[in-house]
Amino acid sequence: MDRQSHNSSAWKTFLLHLHPPKVHSRSIRFTRTFGLGGIAALLFIILACSGMILRFKYIPSVVGAYDSLLTLEQEYIFGHFLRSLHYWSANLLIIVSFLHMIRVLFSQSIYGERKKNWIYGLFLFICILAFNFTGYLLPWDQLSYWAVTIVTSMLSYIPLIGEGLSEWVRGGEQVNESTLLSFYHLHTGILPLFFVCFVCIHFWLVRKAKGVTFVKNQGGEMLSSYPHLVHKEVVAALIVCLVLVLLSLLLDVPMLGKAHPDISPNPSKAPWYFIGFQELLIHFDPSIVVLFIPVITLSFLISLPFYKQEGLHVGVWFNSIRGSVAVKIAILVSLFWTTIYLALSELVLQSWSSEAGNNLVVSVINLLIYVAPLLVFVWGLSRRLKLPGTEIRLVFVAILLSSYIVMSIVAYFFRAEGMEFIF
Amino acid sequence: MSSRRRFIQKLIAVVFSMQLFYILADLFKPTEKQKRKKAGKEEWKTAGQVDEFKKGTLRVFPSDKYFLYRAVDGGFLAMSVKCTHLGCILRLKEDQQGFVCPCHSSEFSALGEVTSAPAKRPLSVFPVRVVGGKVEVDIKNAVKREVGEKTTLIYS
């Protein structure tokens, strides 16, 4: 064997640890998965590498954090680029892993032996949010300090254990030195360890389930992973790297003034992935928003693979044409109704709630005003289109997602000083 | 399965549950504030002479994190600067007769009572005493007030 083929066979053998020797041609189509899972894995590797380089310069203490980052950006070549890369990869990871979740769910890839992987996947997504949240505090500027104050204070509204829980997370009554140190440790130590373990399990479970889902009995052939799959992966990886480099070079990472525990900036907003919750807080009682809604949503998502399925079409988008139509209508209706409801809340409901005492009962009524029309809509839609259970559940997920997106957009772009609504 | 194995497994399960129970119980335990009060630690800071404070005015003490209000009838009230909604630091209103939160526009009266949502609880108060013509505030022991609690002022 000459030298060249010896080297390439070493690569091939390495890749075969991750990939099966042969894959079905339909499972490696771009529009099957959009490469989202692989892109998420790549982003995590980029984050780990850029994070480790950042660790050379970052000082995890109240005295040193802010200045160490300023020094990195101003006095070290590529310092600004490094921090930007880390920041944009982190935000892109939330979006990509979220889209990956959606793709998996809507292509019916969570059933049968993939049930467990769905649960692990949900847990991985929560880890990603935890990563982003702990990392958000580390610059110790006005933006991070108050965003973390707000989100940890949200925890205190959980009944019975809320106050203890928020003080435990914060390490005190206020965000302080020990908060910074714990968050740093979580961000660079505990979470990466958990995450890597669970990602390995996640990948292994995909292999165990014989790979990506696709519609059977519609032609196609078995191809060898090297070169067919690997080449596509390399192209996708290169595109992702290009996008990240461009983002890091062209767009600025926010860095407000150093954290001032005596002055809250106006407005104080949570990070964009939590800002939908902050919007919810403006409309409903905190214990509903912080406990009831997350618990219901998470339980619903976890339960999805466990219902009895009739007419399950694995690999088909939205399970059927009917499902496809239903989900699209549901998204439009939900976007529309959520916007209307927010306007209704600003103009009418909030003043009514203040007069009525602004208590839990008032909030429940406001929540019912939002939910009831949607339930009626889903009931009507499922009757009209004769939707089976699987499609109905997909409709509910679509509604949840689009309403959260509307809330996030409104809170991010349309709320200014004092969280006043602006247009 | 042998009874010995079963016993050891049950033992491990019990130890783990005890640990989990301890962690959960810890979340219910009194907060740092309440523990400090029980331990009797107080820190009285002098706000100033009684005559320094005009009746019907608010003064802010940012580094000690309290507002001092002297009512029109001469009584004193020391309130926390933290908004009871999500913990942001309050600012004085333009007319100096109340507080507004920069985060979500909660508003409070000069006595720390909620005048505008989303906050629900009135501001926490600090113990005040007048000693030898000087107004003193115990900045270590904030007292949480519930909705509808009557406000008590301290007179010299």
Cβ atoms A346, A421 nearer than 8 A = yes
The per-residue pLDDT for range A400-417, each reduced to its tens digit, is 999 999 999 988 888 877
- Complex confidence, ipTM: 0.77
- How many other CB atoms sit within 10 Å of the CB of residue A2? 6
At A45 the pLDDT is 96
| Contact residues, chain B, for A357 at CB < 8 Å | none
Distance CA A50, CA A247 (A): 15
Q: Which residues on chain B place their C-beta less than 8 Å from a C-beta of chain A?
A: 24, 26-29, 31-33, 62-63, 65, 81, 85-89, 100-105, 116-118, 120
Distance CA A116, CA A305 (A): 9
| Contact residues, chain B, for A173 at CB < 8 Å | 31-33
Residue of B nearest to A352 (CA): B117
Q: What mean pLDDT is predicted for residues A371-376?
A: 93
The per-residue pLDDT for range B30-87, each reduced to its tens digit, is 665 566 655 667 888 888 888 888 888 888 888 888 999 988 888 899 999 999 888 8
Q: How many CB pairs under 8 A join A and B?
A: 78
The per-residue pLDDT for range A228-270, each reduced to its tens digit, is 888 899 999 999 999 999 999 999 888 888 988 888 887 788 8
A interface test, pick of B26, B32, B86 with most A CB neighbours within 10 Å: B86
Establish whether the linkage from the previous residue to B118 is cis, with ω within 30° of 0: yes
Establish whether the linkage from the previous residue to B122 is cis, with ω within 30° of 0: no
Partner residue opposite A164 with nearest CB, options B28, B87, B103:
B28
Distance CA A413, CA A280 (A): 15
Distance CA A362, CA A350 (A): 10
Partner residue opposite A262 with nearest CB, options B24, B85, B89:
B89
Q: Is the pLDDT of residue A398 over 90?
A: yes
Beta-bridge mates of residue A23: A223
Residue of A nearest to B28 (CA): A161
The per-residue pLDDT for range A15-24, each reduced to its tens digit, is 778 888 888 8
- How many other CB atoms sit within 10 Å of the CB of residue B141? 19
At B39 the pLDDT is 61
The per-residue pLDDT for range A88-132, each reduced to its tens digit, is 999 999 999 999 999 999 998 999 889 999 999 999 999 999 999
Model confidence at B133, pLDDT cuts 50, 70, 90, reads confident
The per-residue pLDDT for range A285-302, each reduced to its tens digit, is 888 888 889 999 999 999
Put the strands of the sheet holding B134-138 in their side by side order.
B44-49, B134-138, B128-131
Residue of A nearest to B24 (CA): A161
What whole-number percentage of chain A has pLDDT above 90? 51
The per-residue pLDDT for range A341-355, each reduced to its tens digit, is 988 888 888 788 777
At B9 the pLDDT is 95
Return the HEC string of A87-137. Answer: HHHHHHHHHHHHHHHHHHHHCCCCCHHHHHHHHHHHHHHHHHHHHHHHHHH
| Contact residues, chain B, for A350 at CB < 8 Å | 117
At A64 the pLDDT is 92
The per-residue pLDDT for range A27-82, each reduced to its tens digit, is 888 888 899 999 999 999 999 999 999 999 999 999 999 999 999 999 999 999 99
Model pTM score: 0.87
At A362 the pLDDT is 84
Distance CA A301, CA B90 (A): 39
Q: How far is A412 from chain B (nearest CA, A)?
A: 14
Contacts 24+ apart (CB under 8 A), A361-366: A362/A285, A363/A284, A363/A285, A363/A288, A364/A285, A364/A288, A366/A283, A366/A284
What whole-number percentage of chain B has pLDDT above 90? 20
At B34 the pLDDT is 62
Region of residue A268 (left: phi > 0; alpha: psi -120 to 50; beta: else): beta
Structure tokens at B12: 């491990």
Q: Is the pLDDT of residue B29 over 90?
A: no
Q: Which residues on chain A place their C-beta less than 8 Å from a C-beta of chain B?
A: 146, 149-150, 152-154, 160-161, 163-165, 167-168, 172-174, 261-268, 281-282, 350, 353-354, 358, 417-420
At A6 the pLDDT is 55
Cβ atoms A91, A31 nearer than 8 A = no
Q: What mean pLDDT is predicted for residues A367-385?
A: 92
A interface test, pick of B104, B106, B108, B116 with most A CB neighbours within 10 Å: B104
Least confident of A152-156, A260-264, B4-8, B23-27: B23-27
Q: Position of tokens 């740092």?
A: B32
Contact A418 B89 (CB under 8 A): no
Q: How far is B4 from chain A (nearest CA, A)?
A: 32
Beta-bridge mates of residue A113: none
Cβ atoms A72, A57 nearer than 8 A = yes
State chain B's mean pLDDT as an integer: 85
Contact A153 B28 (CB under 8 A): no
At A297 the pLDDT is 93
The per-residue pLDDT for range B89-132, each reduced to its tens digit, is 998 888 888 999 888 788 999 888 888 877 888 999 998 888 88
State chain A's mean pLDDT as an integer: 89
Q: How far is A208 from chain B (nearest CA, A)?
A: 30
